Chain A
Amino acid sequence: NAGVTQTPKFRILKIGQSMTLQCTQDMNHNYMYWYRQDPGMGLKLIYYSVGAGITDKGEVPNGYNVSRSTTEDFPLRLELAAPSQTSVYFCASSPTSGAEETQYFGPGTRLLVL
């Protein structure tokens, strides 16, 4: 199993540009999450999904959008990039049961908005 994969690894965007961060998991997990991590800070939840077709906002959803058309994929869309979105983005997934399940993280996407 590849686990959770993310692409791209690194990207530079200009202010106002848009892009999609890709996330795929091959563990058949229902729950998927997007976090951002700023230097020296903890992980902040952006959006999460409890299954295909179901998404919900996390702590910092402004400026982002998500969709979940399949169990495997959970892309994160930035519509109008702003310098405040410079960060490292992590996608994670967890098994079906929820509450006490651990999360499996991808390697991250480093985004720089100039």
Chain B
Amino acid sequence: SQKIEQNSEALNIQEGKTATLTCNYTNYSPAYLQWYRQDPGRGPVFLLLIRENEKEKRKERLKVTFDTTLKQSLFHITASQPADSATYLCALPLSGGSYIPTFGRGTSLIVHP
């Protein structure tokens, strides 16, 4: 099954800067990859989905890239704000052909004013 690696150390950045989070996977290349946001004490909330044939996807201040050669997705938040502080999880199918997602442990983002 798929193994997902996200940086376990918190990412601290200053307000206004671009935050970049990394999601690496180790086995087969998934058909898609998702990013979720999770606030303390709450369930994850879906942000973006990117398919294997898409290099980049944007939504407002969010941008996701997907490099199947590197087996990596990057998640960018431009002009970051303190309200963006949260844990960000990536998710991809548990195995080839599966529709059941498996989640990484997430990376905590802290945006300082």
Contact = CB atoms under 8 A, between A and B. Distances in A.
Given A40-B8, A42-B104, A99 B31 contact: yes
Contacts, number: 56
A105 B93 contact: no
B102 interface: yes
Contacts of A92: 43
Nearest to A98: B99
Contacts of A106: 43
A100 B49 contact: yes
A contact patch SS? loop
A45 B102 contact: yes
A45 B102 CA distance: 7
Given A59-B94, A102-B34, 16 more contacts: A42-B6, A42-B102, A42-B103, A42-B104, A43-B89, A45-B94, A45-B102, A59-B1, A92-B43, A99-B32, A100-B32, A102-B46, A103-B101, A105-B45, A107-B42, A108-B43
A22 to B, nearest CB: 15
A93 B103 CA distance: 15
Contacts of B44: 43, 90, 103, 105
Interface residues of A, number: 25
B42 A108 contact: yes
Interface of A: 4, 31, 33, 35, 40-43, 45, 48, 58-59, 90, 92, 98-108
Nearest to B31: A99
A42 B43 contact: no
Interface in B1-52: 1, 4, 6, 8, 31-32, 34, 41-46, 49, 51
